[in-house]
């Protein structure tokens, strides 16, 4: 993984060599996120995006408060998926005008907080209209709403499909005209549409196709809207490479597709702010998970490096966060990067379950207890997506450096 420099055989994160960083953190395991890499990623993306396409951070990818603060200054808006995330986004200083809230099953209390904060709520069911009408009347504030549409197409070759077919997300495209009429009758402040087809896609053509189809669907639906479209969130789904053979997403065709959409929108939906929302792509490559080897065992010829970290902090690296086939994340011995990968070893965690596998028979440097195992591509869907309480081991720290 070439995003981090190497100095004297040690990985350098946020300008600090790994063993020094571990000493400063004061414990293993920990996650470390590199501020500079986060800023560079956003800057590179912005340099390609057409003017007029706004960039939102979907904070479920990584809700660490310090990281959200950092991101809030770099992007145009934050997408939240719960009242808990809303609180973090507001505390991070994000402008409520530029926060949007999506997710099925928004509770009454969550909707009330969202209305009070003045953020945009992506409506995903007729029930939410009724709740919001009552809350708006009570609060003396018309809820700002967009409709999250479950499109009539899927994002091809996506790691996780979140639109098309039967879904718990959004409202089926064919039901949207009736829902829009309901929004008008309820007197809510309609602003636009939100479409999110899927996640972790490395194929630019598939993303472009989904974004153009999303735009065209929103355009068709706009004729049923109670007010002009001022907000159009076309989703994202930009992936990052995790496994051998995966190539980084090519941004140029995606940017060109968005430029075409922006040109059309300028006359077809002239009041609309176009938004893309990205989680993993913005933060995933800037983070590592670091654990220390406690034991080295050989079982019937196979080497096991037993680390103090495991699936309770990093479920996705263990292959148990929605993966169909388990594959190794990129893993290295972070304080022996100068050494040849001369052994084949499995890195396991301390949990009493065979699922606690961080690397399965990988070529690694000849490592010993005390050495530091680094799992790359760990800035998204790491700690907050893991069952920390499982088996009662110490909690993990996160640092932004």
Ligand X SMILES: *Cc1c(COP(=O)(O)O)cnc(C)c1O
Q: Enumerate binding residues for ligand X (CB under 6 A).
A: 58, 60-61, 79, 102, 196, 199-200, 236-237, 277-281, 380
> Do residues 150 and 163 make contact, with C-beta atoms less than 8 angstroms apart?
yes
Give the nearer residue to ligand X in terms of CB position, either 273 or 336.
273
Give the nearer residue to ligand X in terms of CB position, either 170 or 310.
170
Give the nearer residue to ligand X in terms of CB position, either 10 or 128.
128
CA distance 6 to 337: 8
Q: How far is the CB of 217 from ligand X (least distance, A)?
A: 16
Read off the tokens for 382.
């790491």
Query: What are phi and psi for residue 169, nearest 5 degrees?
Result: -95, 135
* Residue 161 burial (C-beta neighbours within 10 Å; 0-12, 13-18, 19+): middle
CA distance 18 to 26: 12
Give the nearer residue to ligand X in terms of CB position, either 192 or 236.
236
Give the nearer residue to ligand X in terms of CB position, either 234 or 372.
234
Q: What is the DSSP letter of 286?
A: G
> Do residues 190 and 227 make contact, with C-beta atoms less than 8 angstroms apart?
yes
Write the CA distances from 165 to 36, 153, 154, 161, 171, integer angstroms. 40, 7, 8, 10, 11
Q: How far is the CB of 81 from ligand X (least distance, A)?
A: 6
Any alpha helices (H) in 278-363, and if so which ranges? 280-283
Q: How far is the CB of 366 from ligand X (least distance, A)?
A: 36
Give the nearer residue to ligand X in terms of CB position, either 199 or 377.
199
Tokens 């640092």 -> residue: 399
Q: How far is the CB of 400 from ligand X (least distance, A)?
A: 18
Q: How far is the CB of 313 from ligand X (least distance, A)?
A: 19
Chain centroid to Cα 338, Å, comes to 32
CA distance 145 to 334: 47
Q: How far is the CB of 278 from ligand X (least distance, A)?
A: 5
Element (H, E) at 312: none
Give the nearer residue to ligand X in terms of CB position, either 210 or 307.
210
Q: How far is the CB of 380 from ligand X (least distance, A)?
A: 6
Chain centroid to Cα 329, Å, comes to 17
> Do residues 373 and 334 make contact, with C-beta atoms less than 8 angstroms apart?
yes
Give the nearer residue to ligand X in terms of CB position, either 79 or 128.
79
Q: How far is the CB of 196 from ligand X (least distance, A)?
A: 4
Read off the tokens for 356.
């606690």
Any alpha helices (H) in 2-107, and if so which ranges? 18-25, 35-48, 65-74, 83-91
Give the nearer residue to ligand X in terms of CB position, either 277 or 308.
277
CA distance 242 to 386: 18
Q: How far is the CB of 128 from ligand X (least distance, A)?
A: 15
Any alpha helices (H) in 49-164, and if so which ranges? 65-74, 83-91, 108-117, 126-139
CA distance 199 to 183: 29
| Residue closest to ligand X when measured from CB atoms | 279
Q: How far is the CB of 394 from ligand X (least distance, A)?
A: 28
Give the nearer residue to ligand X in terms of CB position, either 213 or 292.
213
């Amino acid at each position: 993984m070439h995003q981090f420099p190497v100095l004297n055989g040690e990985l350098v994160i946020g300008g600090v060599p790994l063993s020094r960083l571990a000493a400063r953190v004061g414990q293993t395991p920990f996650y470390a996120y590199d501020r500079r890499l986060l800023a560079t990623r956003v800057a590179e993306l912005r340099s390609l995006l057409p003017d007029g396409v706004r960039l939102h951070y979907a904070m479920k990818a990584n809700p660490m408060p310090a990281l959200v603060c950092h991101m809030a200054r770099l992007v145009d808006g934050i997408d939240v998926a719960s009242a808990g995330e809303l609180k973090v986004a507001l505390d991070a200083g994000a402008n409520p005008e530029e926060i949007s809230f999506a997710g099925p099953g928004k509770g009454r209390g969550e909707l009330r907080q969202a209305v009070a904060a003045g953020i945009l709520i992506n409506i995903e069911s007729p029930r939410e209209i009724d709740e919001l009408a009552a809350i708006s009347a009570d609060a003396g504030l018309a809820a700002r709403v967009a409709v999250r549409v479950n499109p009539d197409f899927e994002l091809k070759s996506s790691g996780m499909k979140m639109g098309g077919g039967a879904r718990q997300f959004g409202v089926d495209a064919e039901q949207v005209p009736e829902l829009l009429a309901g929004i008008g009758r309820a007197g809510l402040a309609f602003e636009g549409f939100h479409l999110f087809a899927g996640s972790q896609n490395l194929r630019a053509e598939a993303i472009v196709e989904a974004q153009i189809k999303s735009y065209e669907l929103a355009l068709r639906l706009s004729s049923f809207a109670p007010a002009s479209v001022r907000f159009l969130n076309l989703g994202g789904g930009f992936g990052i490479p995790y496994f051998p053979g995966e190539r980084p997403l090519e941004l140029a065709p995606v940017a060109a597709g968005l430029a075409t959409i922006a040109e059309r929108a300028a006359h077809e939906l002239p009041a609309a702010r176009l938004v893309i929302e990205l989680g993993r792509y913005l933060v995933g490559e800037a983070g590592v998970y670091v654990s220390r080897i406690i034991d080295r065992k050989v079982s019937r010829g196979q080497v096991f490096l037993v680390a103090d970290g495991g699936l309770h902090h990093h479920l996705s690296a263990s292959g148990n966060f929605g993966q169909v086939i388990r594959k190794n994340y990129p893993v290295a011995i972070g304080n022996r990067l100068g050494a040849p990968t001369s052994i084949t070893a499995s890195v396991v965690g301390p949990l009493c379950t065979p699922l606690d596998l961080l690397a399965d028979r990988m070529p690694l440097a000849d490592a010993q207890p005390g050495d530091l195992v680094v799992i790359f591509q760990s800035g998204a869907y790491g700690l907050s997506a893991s069952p920390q309480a499982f088996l009662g081991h110490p909690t993990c720290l996160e640092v932004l450096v």
